[in-house]
Amino acid sequence: MWLDAKNRRGSVIVLMAVSLVAVLSILALSFDGGMLEDKRRSVQAAADAAALAAATDLWDHYTTNAGLDPSGTARASALSTAAANGYPNNGVTSVVTVNINPLSGDFVGKPGYAEVIVQLNLPRGFSSIWGSDSLHVTARAVAGGTPGNVGILMLNP
């Protein structure tokens, strides 16, 4: 019933090759998946900070510009904040899109609000065995507000 040594020759190498492909696939998913999750948090933080910077500029000039950005200072503030967080809008590794008066979501077309979309084009690590294109990590943030209706919050009356 048992195969002799002559018939079993090379069967271990085949099993090891198949197992190695499976182990490398799991390693690629683990490594690149963890890297993507880390970068997603970083990209979201940069988008949040850039949207807040643009909204602050819109707020500061609300009385003269009515929540619009005719001089481009809010857009410039968002781009410089994104660049300071590591996303310089160079079109290769990162793309930063700033929409004063958001183009999507709950605040579409509302003055005084800024939408920032940050996309990171990340080179593949171990998952390059499946493809050579870059991995895209995208985050969107909207910030803003309009003056008026200022209230007081009392925590311990």
Query: What is the mean predicted confidence (pLDDT) over 67-86?
Result: 94
Distant-in-sequence contacts of 67-70, Cβ < 8 A, 24+ apart: 67/101, 67/110, 67/111, 67/112, 67/113, 67/144, 67/146, 68/100, 68/101, 68/111, 69/100
CA distances from 79 to 88, 94, 117 (A): 7, 11, 11
The answer to whether residue 142 scores a pLDDT higher than 90 is yes
117 Cβ contact list (under 8 Å, min separation 6): 47, 96, 97, 99, 138, 139, 140
pTM: 0.75
Say what the pLDDT of residue 21 is. Answer: 84
pLDDT band at 37 (very low <50, low <70, confident <90, very high): confident
CA distances from 64 to 54, 57, 59, 60, 152 (A): 16, 12, 10, 9, 26
Say what the pLDDT of residue 25 is. Answer: 79
Say what the pLDDT of residue 129 is. Answer: 63
Query: What is the mean predicted confidence (pLDDT) over 115-122?
Result: 94
The answer to whether residue 40 scores a pLDDT higher than 80 is yes
Query: What is the mean predicted confidence (pLDDT) over 69-85?
Result: 95
Distance CA 76, CA 36 (A): 28
Of 116, 111, 117, 154, the residue nearest 137 (C-alpha): 117
Say what the pLDDT of residue 124 is. Answer: 75
CA distances from 155 to 109, 128, 152 (A): 35, 54, 10
Strand-pair partners of 97? 117
The answer to whether residue 153 scores a pLDDT higher than 80 is no
Which range is least confidently modeled, 17-26, 35-44, 72-81, 143-152?
143-152
pLDDT band at 146 (very low <50, low <70, confident <90, very high): low
Query: What is the mean predicted confidence (pLDDT) over 50-64?
Result: 91
Contact 77, 55 (CB under 8 A): no
Tell me the average pLDDT of the chain. Answer: 84
